[in-house]
Amino acid sequence: MKCLHGWSQESFTMLLGVLSDALPQAQLPKKYYEVQKIIRDLGLDYEKIHACPNDCMLFRGERADQESCHVCGSSRWVTNEKKDSQAESVSKQKKKLAKVLRYFPLIPRIQRLFATRKTSDDMCWHDEGRTKDGKIRHPANGECWKDLDARYPSFVVDPRNPRLGILSDGFNPFRSMSSKHSTWPVMLIPYNLPPWICMKETSLILSMIIPGPASPGNDIDIYLQPLIDELLQLWDGVDTFDASS
């Protein structure tokens, strides 16, 4: 409700205070910060990855500690040429990052689809519940799906292996046509699920939020690096609890 209706952190904290007083036996968190800690413990946290302001690279892995882009030389921090020498000595904690990618780890979100019996059963629907009469009702009936099955027969053996579609598009988060700001969310669609479920908003998986103000264009592949790393890890195999079995 906080996200859907744009509640401020202060108003949400006040609501928690009222509910805590009205329902003391529920042991509800009393501050928004405590709610965030609970969400992190559920494995639904996100990572902040510093990025080059010109979309050249991400400051991660071996380049996590670099102060500037190795491609264009831009600083990872917002620079102000008018600063005097004393201000230049401000510590990193007080510096402002030039660009930050918000990345939502994929593996814990895939694992949550197998955490309950209902969603775990649905993740096998494309193989066990689909009507196989040659008619197209689901991407599993399409030629691309069949081609992938033919090329990777070992992947087909276990129907629980997730089939993911990826999509992205830019939008202006400020609701102003006069502003050219463009933020790009990257979404994943779990195509294992039945067609009446996989395209629902509750089934879409937010993978990352690529910051603006400009469109990443062909440089979007730079931002997809952490997602590709996780997909390669999933391809090798990840141990997961399956509530169905």
pLDDT truncated to tens, each residue of the chain (245 aa)? 888 888 899 999 999 999 999 998 988 888 888 888 888 877 778 899 999 988 889 999 888 888 888 888 888 898 765 554 555 555 555 788 889 999 999 999 999 999 999 899 999 999 988 888 888 888 999 999 999 999 999 999 999 999 999 999 888 887 766 678 889 999 999 999 999 998 888 899 999 999 888 888 888 999 999 999 999 999 999 999 999 88
Q: Residues 151, 34: one domain?
A: no
Q: Residues 45, 83: one domain?
A: yes
Residue 111: which domain range?
103-236
Q: Domain for residue 79, yes or no?
A: yes
pLDDT for the residue 13? 92
pLDDT for the residue 83? 53
Q: Residues 34, 67: one domain?
A: yes
Let me know the angle formed at the C-alpha of 68 by 222 and 170, rounded to the nearest 5 degrees.
35
Q: Domain for residue 141, yes or no?
A: yes
Q: Residues 190, 132: one domain?
A: yes
Read off the pTM.
0.80
Q: Residues 82, 165: one domain?
A: no
Q: Domain for residue 11, yes or no?
A: yes
Q: Domain for residue 81, yes or no?
A: yes
Q: Residues 138, 80: one domain?
A: no
Q: Domain for residue 241, yes or no?
A: no
Q: Residues 203, 124: one domain?
A: yes
Q: Residues 31, 72: one domain?
A: yes
pLDDT for the residue 84? 46
User: pLDDT tens for residues 155-213?
Assistant: 999 999 999 999 998 888 877 666 788 899 999 999 999 999 988 888 999 999 998 88
Q: Residues 85, 108: one domain?
A: no
Q: Domain for residue 144, yes or no?
A: yes
Q: Domain for residue 243, yes or no?
A: no
